[in-house]
Amino acid sequence: MLPFTRPSIDDAERQAVSEVLASGWLASGPRVEALEQGLEDYLGGGVSVRVFSSATGALEAALLASGVGPGDEVIVPAMSFVATANVVVRFGAIPVFVDVDLVSRNLVIENVERALTPRTRALLPVHFAGRGVDLAALYALAEYHDLRVIEDAAQAIGTAVEGRRVGASGNPVCFSFHPNKNMTTIEGGALASNDAALIRRIERIRFHGIERGADGAMDVPEWGGKMNLPDVGAAIGLVQLSRLDGFNARRRQLARRYIERLPNHPALLLPADVPGHSWHMFCVCIDYEMLGTTRAELQQRLQERGIGTGIHYPAMHLFSLYRGYGYAPGDFPVAERIGEQTLTLPLFPAMTDHDVDRVCNALEALLTTEVEA
């Protein structure tokens, strides 16, 4: 069975975990510090990095540290994993959805401009599937309107925009190290920022609001959560980080093979390869209605051929929670089309060229069969 994703774990990661277990220091400690330094070196730009137990925690901390609160509006793309909007609701703020581009699935700057109101406090772009957002235009808009940009780079570790790694600039940028991401710490995430004051506040929020003076005395000046990453996860992350560029290079090779081998079919819409893409996922759109079938039926036929697939993602504004904010079908037609047609094909570094060819051949056969039927 070929799953749509699988983490690349081998003896080096197992040895790193064994060493942490033998050390007796299992919570946040020297491996966490080493991973933070390693990520700072990897991203460049002089940013500081703090790791978290999840990217969701990093986003929550970023919003809280940015002063986002009840009644504030945060602009969010309608196409993303639901955590992107849920973290906004967590602080009583209002997610304001905008439609996305059909091919990149990233937010469109003109849609962001139209969604601005006097209550807009922050912009929360998503680098979908590892394809970078047009950051120059977004930051120019934010600067003009005095808005905070909080980048959801959960899917974009190793992505570059105009030759610069996502996270090397910007304030702040949040990454995920979930097992299905380009590198993993089992569960985990990170926040990168070039703002020293923001980083100090992030450190407090990450761990119970605690602040220590030069003499070691403890104070709690504000609320904080429990979002720290254990050393066991950080030890895995250190090994994964050393392999990340190789992982991403292989992902690019596999994605390009998909683009070359998948059929030119009117019911099939492919993603585009662009410089700097880290290819976290390979998501296509399929017009199931044109084929006279359903996504579930097509997935079942691929499953019977030993090929697993995913759905990334339903349009967020159509979930019950967000319909309660007044959103309805028809509000964001591109995100809705993606949500109805999306299919995630297998993509992970251990795949072979033959695996890609197998998926392409199976999909081509099914597309042809459905059309003829």
- The yes-or-no verdict on residue 370 having pLDDT over 70 is no
Q: What angle do CA 198, 199, 204 make, to 5 degrees?
A: 100
Model confidence over 234-259: pLDDT tens digits? 999 999 999 999 999 999 999 999 99
Overall CATH class of domain 11-239: alpha beta
Higher pLDDT, 361 or 368: 361
Model confidence over 270-326: pLDDT tens digits? 999 999 999 999 999 999 999 999 999 999 999 999 999 999 999 999 999 999 999
Contact 31, 234 (CB under 8 A): yes
Two tokens, residue 264:
């030119």
Model confidence over 196-208: pLDDT tens digits? 999 999 999 999 9
Amino acid at 291: L
Model confidence over 214-227: pLDDT tens digits? 898 999 999 999 99
Residue 95: strand, helix, or coil: strand
Predicted structure pTM score: 0.96
Residue ranges per structural domain of the chain:
11-239, 244-372
Strands (E), the chain: 48-52, 73-77, 94-98, 120-123, 148-149, 151-152, 160-161, 164-165, 173-176, 189-193, 211-212, 218-219, 268-269, 282-286, 342-345
For residue 120, the number of C-alpha atoms closer than 13 Å in the C-beta half-sphere is 23
Q: Residue 171's pLDDT band (boundaries 50, 70, 90)?
A: confident
Q: Is 226 a catalytic residue?
A: no
Q: Residue 162's pLDDT band (boundaries 50, 70, 90)?
A: very high
Model confidence over 28-72: pLDDT tens digits? 999 999 999 999 999 999 999 999 999 999 999 999 999 999 999
DSSP state for residue 94 in the 8-state scheme: E
Nearest to 168 by CA among 179, 160, 177, 178: 160
Report in angstroms the alpha-carbon separations of 122 from 63, 132, 314, 331. Answer: 9, 19, 24, 21
Model confidence over 90-124: pLDDT tens digits? 999 999 999 999 999 999 999 999 999 999 999 99
Amino acid at 130: G
Burial 239-263 (b: 16+ CB within 10 A, else e): bbbebbeebbebbbebbebbeeebe
pLDDT, residue 207, reads: 96
Q: Residue 170's pLDDT band (boundaries 50, 70, 90)?
A: confident
CB count within 10 Å of CB 287 equals 14
**Which listed residue (50, 105, 178, 181) is catalytic?**
181
% of the chain exceeding 90 in pLDDT: 96
85/268 Cα distance (integer angstroms): 29
Q: Residue for token digits 């079942």?
A: 300
pLDDT, residue 208, reads: 96
CB count within 10 Å of CB 34 equals 16
Work out the average pLDDT over 119-148. 97
CATH topology of domain 244-372: Aspartate Aminotransferase, domain 1 (3.90.1150)
Q: Can 11-239 and 244-372 be said to share one CATH topology?
A: no
Two tokens, residue 109:
């700057």
Query: Strand 148-149 relative to strand 151-152: parallel, antiparallel, unpaired?
Result: unpaired
Helix (H) / strand (E) containing 14: helix 11-23
183/78 Cα distance (integer angstroms): 26
Q: Residue 372's pLDDT band (boundaries 50, 70, 90)?
A: very low
- The yes-or-no verdict on residue 140 having pLDDT over 50 is yes
